[in-house]
Structure 1
Amino acid sequence: MWIDLVHPDKTEERLVEGLLGMPLPTREDLKDIEPSSRLYVDDHGVYMTASLICKADSDLPVLADVAFILGGNRLITVRYAEPRSFDLFTAALGRSKAGYHCGAAVLAGLLETVADRTAEILEMAGARLDRLASEIFLDRRAAKKRPARQLEDKLLDIAGFQRLVSKTRDSLVSLSRLVGFVLSVEPLRRHEEASALCHVVAHDVQSLSEHAAFVGNNISFMLDASLGLINVEQNAIIKIFSIASVVFLPPTLVASVYGMNFKLMPELDWSLGYPFALFAMALSAVIPFLFFRWKGWL
């Protein structure tokens, strides 16, 4: 009832085609197939191609094109990647009490597992995003001890989440088209249980798409908040340098005045001229400093 071709070579493809009497898409076909030609029916059976997310637990999740073919009361899948949903479905076959008597029923169960795995990916992304939010929005005392580049490093984590959620949303769009097409073909209409399960999967895919959009909005908020905090820290550093330059500007003016060495400068011959100049420079620095403290700019 189910023939799963994983990384098949030319010999295996010809063998299965000879046994089933129907053509199978090759790896090049899956790569070159147009979006408008992913779902069709011909004399041999029902041909469907969906993009499923793979390597969701890694730093570089990817989309893999998987072919689903219903023909001769069998399901044939052709894939050159290993989505975890297939392993989960295979492992659950031995524990499931429900019987699979045709390829349409196997397809419905497999699509349900794909939707469940997608939900798990979104839940994992949401949990990791919450942990990242708690690391970014520290309290004020902890933020003062935070390394300057820590927030900039968080931007890479946010970019990773954005890639994961983006790939997941693309996979959900592809899965939604496939499920909608499956519900309209003859093999599913003849099988009431499989048809009912596909209706449930279609509803789940719609809910997951809304949840993915919600997670995507949270990621956008996290990105904007991180950039805002980085700007606040940079502005604080610039403010310190600006205040320091203003504080030291009056002493520089006093030193410049008494460094001109004109003949008619009484303070040059005064015995207390040097300490007076030092006192004037210190006072001219303290007064702006106290004024900034009073205004709350420090």
Structure 2
Amino acid sequence: MIRAYRRDGSAEIIGAEPQASNFPDDIIWIDLIKPSRDEEHFVESRIGIPLPTPEELKDIEPSSRLYVEHDAIYMTASLLYRADSSYPLLTDVAFILHRGRLITIRYAEPKAFELFSASLLRLNGQCDTGAKLLGHLLETIVDRTAEILETLASRLDALSITVFVNRKAAKRRPPRFLEDKLLDIASHHQLVGKVRDSLVSLSRLVLFLQSQPAVRREEDAAELCGLVVRDLQSLGEHAAFVANNITFMLDASLGLINVEQNAIIKIFSIASVVFLPPTLVASIYGMNFEVMPELAWNFGYPMALFAMLLSAIIPFLFFRWKGWL
């Protein structure tokens, strides 16, 4: 699909028709969403420059993601999408500046694009060049990333409260409660990892964009790029802080699981020690020797039971006195 935006913020969907004329001069942004090869050829024939293919977008070499060719600035960044789902993903998006016009190519729909396109009408003509438009778009992408990190931090706070409860509440937790929470921690770790990858990609893109003479000549665009760079730096620090919190949560949860397992093993160990003396008494009087004076006693059987009970109570009281129970 080809969506074209005018300077006034209005948008229209353009069909890849062979008889269609060139794009009007007031078209400032051409957004290609999951384009077919026919749509790519259509846009290439109208703007006069080649567009990167999906295979070229996936190239990780910096020289293949950030370069200048045919009087156009080609940039590719990895953006996060499906951040609200259980499986967040990264998608490679191409940003091309050519003769005051912005061309974007994407094969997914990050929410930042939807938010930015909805806010274009409120900008009141502030995006009169492609560089300014790209600056505001990058600003929206950064704001969306900050929102994702804030939501993630809130989820971690709620998870921390759930995991680090008092001892009485911990006893009422269902079996394998902490093991299930490890899956939540893993999903949060996956999300923050993808956020950090996206931030690194965006930082490289913005620094490359700042170095271009066409951008430096536009004071507003250069100022927007500077703001985005500072925001990316602060978000990188915030993402590192959130990642450290996730690591702490993971280590703490594993520690609590070990404590619970050790407590269970301790109970079995103490139980075996408590029942060991009664077993000894029962073993003694279970031997089949003819000469055993106690076998002829009238109260031999109750005495043996009492000895077994007493030998079990004494270790139990000792463990309680030592604080092991």
Alignment TM-score > 0.5, same fold: yes
Correspondences of 1:119-198 after superposition (within 5 Å): 119-198=146-225
Q: Could you tell me which residue of structure 1 aligns to residue 299 of structure 2?
A: 272
Matched residue, 1:202: 229
Q: Is the 8 A contact 2:59 2:65 kept in 1?
A: no
Amino acid at match of 1:151: L
Counterpart Cα distance in 1 of 2:94 and 2:124: 27
What is the CA-CA distance between 1:148 and the residue it aligns to?
2.4
Is the counterpart of residue 118 in structure 1 residue 118 in structure 2? no
Cα distance in 1 for partners of 2:313, 2:218 equals 87
Instruction: Name the structure 1 match of 2:107.
Output: 80
RMSD: 0.9
Q: In structure 1, what residue type is equivalent to 2:315?
A: P
Shift of 1:29: 1.6
Instruction: For 1:57-72, list aligned pairs within 5 A.
Output: 57-72=84-99
Contact kept? 2:67, 2:74, Cα under 8 Å: yes
Distance 1:35 1:129, change over 3 A: same
CA distance in 1, matches of 2:214, 2:175: 61
Distance 1:105 1:35 in 2: 24
Does 1:20 find its partner at 2:57? no
Question: What secondary structure does 1:75 align onto?
Answer: strand
* Number of aligned positions between the proteins: 298
The structure-2 alpha-carbon separation of the partners of 1:190 and 1:274, relative to structure 1 and needing over 3 Å to count, comes to same
SS at match of 1:56: coil
Residue 234 (1) aligns with residue 258 (2): no
**How far has the Cα of 1:97 moved from its partner?**
3.2
Report the AA paired with residue 58 of structure 1. Answer: S
DSSP-derived class of the 2:32 partner: strand
* TM-superposition CA deviations, 1:242-287 (whole Å, max 9, x none): 0100000000000000011211110111111111110110000010
1:24 aligned partner, one-letter code: L
Tell me by how many angstroms 1:33 deviates: 5.1
SS of equivalent residue, structure 2 residue 78: strand
Give the aligned partner of residue 35 of structure 2. 8
88-97 vs 272-281, greater mean Cα deviation = 88-97
For structure 2, which runs of at least 5 residues remain unmatched after alignment?
1-27
3-state SS of the aligned residue for 2:123? coil
**In 2: Cα distance, 1:36 partner to 1:145 partner:** 57
Q: Distance in 2 between matches of 1:76 and 1:269?
A: 105
* Alignment deviations for residues 4-43 of structure 1 (CA, whole Å, 9 cap, x no partner): 0000001110110000000001112212453442100112
What is the TM-score when the length of structure 2 is the normalising length? 0.90
Q: Residues of 2 paired with 1:263 and 1:98: CA distance? A: 111
Which of 39, 45, 57 is the matching residue for 2:72? 45
* SS, match of residue 286 in structure 2: coil
Identity of aligned residues (%): 67
Superposition misfits of 4+ residues, deviation over 4 angstroms: none
Bigger RCO (CA 8 Å, 6+ sep) = 1
**Tell me, what secondary structure is at the counterpart of 1:95?**
helix
Give how far 1:206 is off.
0.4
Q: Which amino acid aligns with 1:153?
A: D
